[in-house]
Amino acid sequence: QVQLVQSGAEVKKPGSSVKVSCQASGGTFNTYAVSWVRQAPGQGLEWVGAFSPIFGTTNYAQNIRDRVTISADESTTTVYLELSGLRFEDTAVYYCARDHIPAGASRYFDLWGRGTLVIVSS
Amino acid sequence: EIVMTQSPATQSASPGERATLSCRASHNVNNKLAWYQQKSGQVPRLLIYGASTRATGVPARFSGSGSGTEFTLTISSLQSEDFAVYYCQQYDNWPRTFGQGTKVEIK
């Protein structure tokens, strides 16, 4: 049974960068696309971007694409989200989420990590 | 970018009542529409995909319908565990986008 294990909470200064990881415990992402979804305190869900191992492609939300990079290690057991130029409004819980079925390019998500809280504070 | 608009923002209902949640897409999403439930302090849970297919383990009281740009999530008889926030999400176009959510609260 694959579980998504995310890295711990981070506190960062405005303008700095953060890198959050998501490890597939008990398996690999293999051919499953992985998305990152964030949720600011008391707010709704916001799709940030996705990585598709089978296509080797990434896609990003328009409002963040110039500051975000999603990558994976060679074995595709861990996927990373790196966000640069941090702003106060980037404060959120960042979830990784795996596609329901393999061989896609990020569709809908049935397996979620527990989230990583990123706080941007001066 | 496809904008997803959910209504109402909050729905108050009593256990046993029917709840009807709406989701409208700014463009046709070709039934590539998913619904999620999120309870307070928990991660989202996939309920429906393909506009009307229940995910594994989702009770039959949850049903999805609609096509094109107009979609509905219906909870036929609310149980205590159904009071939560519900989100729709389209996966027809990049970027993927979520609605802002509908909170179903106890009347």
* Cis status, amide bond into A53, omega within 30 of 0: no
Q: Does A60 touch chain B (CB under 8 A)?
A: yes
Q: How confident is the model at residue A42 (pLDDT cuts 50, 70, 90)?
A: very high
Which residue type sits at A115? G
> Chain A residues with CB inside 8 Å of B100's CB?
44
Q: A49 to chain B: nearest residue by CA? A: B95
- Strand B33-38 with B85-90, pairing: antiparallel
Which residues in chain B show pLDDT less than 70? Answer: none
State both tokens at A20. 């959050």
The pLDDT value recorded for residue B69 is: 98
| B66 and B50 Cβ atoms separated by less than 8 Å | no
Q: Does A19 touch chain B (CB under 8 A)?
A: no
Residue A54 vs residues A4, A30, A103, B106: alpha-carbon distances, Å:
19, 8, 6, 44
Q: How confident is the model at residue A101 (pLDDT cuts 50, 70, 90)?
A: confident
Q: Does A35 touch chain B (CB under 8 A)?
A: yes
> Chain A residues with CB inside 8 Å of B87's CB?
44-45
Can you tell me whether residue A60 is helix, strand or coil?
A: strand
The pLDDT value recorded for residue A91 is: 98
The pLDDT value recorded for residue A28 is: 74
CA separation for the pair B92, A105 (Å, rounded): 11
Neighbour order of strands in the sheet with B62-67? B4-7, B19-25, B70-75, B62-67
> Chain A residues with CB inside 8 Å of B49's CB?
100, 107-108
Average predicted confidence (pLDDT) for chain B: 97
Mutation pick from B1, B71, B91 vs chain A, by most beta carbons of A within 10 Å, is: B91
Interval A43-55: pLDDT, tens = 999 999 999 988 8
Q: How confident is the model at residue A102 (pLDDT cuts 50, 70, 90)?
A: confident
CA separation for the pair A70, A51 (Å, rounded): 6
Interval B45-72: pLDDT, tens = 999 999 999 999 999 999 999 999 999 9
Can you tell me whether residue B81 is helix, strand or coil?
A: helix
| B36 and B18 Cβ atoms separated by less than 8 Å | no
- Please give the average per-residue pLDDT across A55-77, as a whole number: 90
